[in-house]
Amino acid sequence: MPPAALAVLAVLLGIVALTVLLLIFNYGQIWFQAYWSKATVTFLELFGMSLRKVNARTIVQARIMATQAGLGKDISSNRLEAHYLAGGDVPRVIRALIAAHRAGIDLDFDRACAIDLAGRDVLDAVQTSVNPKVIDCPDVASGKSTLSAVARNGVELKIRARVTVRTNLLQLIGGATEETIIARVGEGIITSIGSAATHFEVMEHPDTISKAVLERGLDAQTAFQIVSIDIADIEVGENIGARLQADQAEADTRVARAKAEERRAVAIAREQEMKAATAENRARVLQAEALVPKSIGEALRAGRMQSQSANGKA
């Protein structure tokens, strides 16, 4: 073989050896970790991840977790890379799948990725599905500590409830959040108390409110399933019915007083009108009386009347 060919071959072998050394130096630890964890991955795949700007260590560790949990057959490196490039949280998705698998919850990789990309915390959703969470109604962050409702007898009741919910993974994407659950439960409690005849019924049997609210199906189209609604505290507030009746009686008294004052003013005005009419009639009478002597004088001068002395001489 010519010396030039040997030189070229030596250069090529040196490049290959250098490339192999670089691959081993950069990815050797990850490769050995994957190999001994039975989540095999090739050096070319690791190099391709670097070219695609994918964190190889994140993908390999996620695949190792999935393989050790018995999920490795359905989850390949390509699917993990695709979710990583889409902006998803690969380790959190894998931990959520492992938790769902251990709890016997039906959650596949595609749905978990969709939940993660939708902005929901898929791991928290699975944990909430396994271990239900308690929501205060009303929410303390809203600044209110109790719900105010009035029974049909007018007595106000202040109630604080606790709602136990678990995540509904099938409706997590597009389902309403905790705020909707709190609003619906609060509305149901107020409606149930408002339909009670007296506040004594509510205080004697608070479980009837919980049952009535649960029967309404308040978790429809939400990301949660209501497990239970428990009345934590009931306090008797104001007698709003009596206060409203007192206010109404006061208002009626004011109206009656105003009407009486109006009638009195009308009577006074009528009295003044009658006095004016009497004075006017008296003036007319005096005017008529003043015309009598004048008329007699004119009659005497005209000869239509004779005085009493003339009649005596005749």
Stronger pLDDT, 99 or 2, i.e. the higher one:
99
Look at 37-46, 231-240, 272-281 and tell me which has the smallest mean pLDDT.
Answer: 37-46
pLDDT of residue 96: 92
Write out the two tokens for 307. Answer: 């005085």
Is 301 part of a structural domain of the chain? no
Judge if 186 and 87 occupy the same domain: no
Tally of domains in the chain:
2
- For residues 202 and 149, state if they share a domain: yes
Give the model's pLDDT for residue 11.
61
> What is the model's pLDDT at position 54?
82
Question: Are residues 83 and 32 part of one domain?
Answer: yes
Residue 201 falls within a domain, yes or no?
A: yes
The region, left, alpha or beta by phi > 0 then psi within -120 to 50, assigned to residue 290 is alpha
Task: Say if residue 99 is in the same domain as residue 200.
Answer: no
The answer to whether position 65 is within a domain reads yes
pLDDT at 229 over 90: no
Question: Which of 223, 240, 257 marks a domain boundary?
Answer: 240
pLDDT for 306 beyond 70:
no
Residue 246 lies in a domain: no
Cα separation, 1 vs 183, in Å, equals 87
Q: What's the mean pLDDT in 55-84?
A: 84
pTM over 0.85: no
Compute the residue count for the chain.
314
Do 66 and 96 belong together in one domain?
Answer: yes
Residue 309, pLDDT above cutoff 60: no
The overall average pLDDT reported for the chain is: 81
The CATH number covering residue 174 comes to 3.30.479.30
Q: How far apart are CA 139 and CA 134, in angstroms?
A: 11
Residue 248, in any domain of the structure: no
Residues 25 and 105 occupy one common structural domain:
yes
The answer, yes or no, to whether residue 197 has pLDDT greater than 90, is no
Mean pLDDT of all residues in 55-74: 82
Domain match, 23 and 117 both: yes
Tell me the residue range of the domain where 146 lies: 133-240
pLDDT at 94: 92
Does the pLDDT of residue 186 top 50, yes or no?
Answer: yes
SS3 231: strand
What would the DSSP string read from start to end of 273-306? HHHHHHHHHHHHHHHHHHHHHHHHHHHHHHTSS-
Q: Among 240, 271, 295, give the residue marking a domain's end.
A: 240
Give residue-wise pLDDT tens across range 84-104.
999 999 999 999 999 988 888
Domain boundary among 193, 217, 240: 240
- Mark whether 198 and 209 lie in a shared domain: yes
How confident is the model over 108-118, as a mean pLDDT? 90
175 and 196 fall within a common domain: yes
- Comparison of pLDDT for 262 and 244, the residue scoring more: 262
Choose from 14-18, 20-24, 198-202, 295-299 the range with maximum mean pLDDT.
198-202
- Same domain? For 125 and 10 the reply is yes
Examine the pLDDT at 18 and tell me if it is beyond 50: yes
- Residue 267, in any domain of the structure: no
Residues 231 and 139 in one domain: yes
Residue 270 lies in a domain: no
19, 102: one domain: yes
